[in-house]
Structure 1
Amino acid sequence: MTVATVREWYDEDGWGVLDSAETPGGCFAHFSNIEMDGYRSLTPGQRVELEWEAPGFQQDGYDYRAVRVRP
């Protein structure tokens, strides 16, 4: 897993953007990919562990998608 920092999180929509050295431009993340019970949102600036899917995916302009996020 990669260490990432939460750039933005939109609680009302349940998604956000995570930054890491391996995901240039940011990584799209949805609350359904957060691997801890009870977590539905993340906080900007929070550090997380991230497993991501490489380019080929496009969501709101982001080429990377989180498949697992662990706070």
Structure 2
Amino acid sequence: MRYNLVGVCKNFYEEEGWGWISIEGEDDVWVHFSSIQMEGFKSLRKGEKVLFDLEEKPNLKEQSRRAVNVRKSY
């Protein structure tokens, strides 16, 4: 697990509840709405800067890099 990374929301599909976060110089990271730390409807906007922890599970083909504890960067 890697902690306190900075990324930018590449896209987020509100109707499906998931999207991707870009990290400079690395592969994109998958994010699920349940990992977003906020009150009310949990979503991200394209281009929004976020802070998160990175959970890596190399044994998974899809979503092997997952953002957890995602919070908006102000």
The two structures have a TM-score, normalised by structure 1, of 0.82
Could you list the runs of 5+ residues in structure 2 that have no partner in the other structure? none
Could you list the runs of 5+ residues in structure 1 that have no partner in the other structure? none
How many residue pairs match? The answer is 69
Residue 66 of structure 2 corresponds to 65
Percent of pairs with identical residues: 32
Paired with 1:2 and 1:67, the residues of 2 have a C-alpha distance of 10
Moved over 4 A (4+): none
Q: Which has the larger radius of gyration?
A: 2
Residue 36 of structure 2 corresponds to 34
| Structure 1 or 2: more strand by fraction | 2
Aligned CA-pair RMSD: 1.9
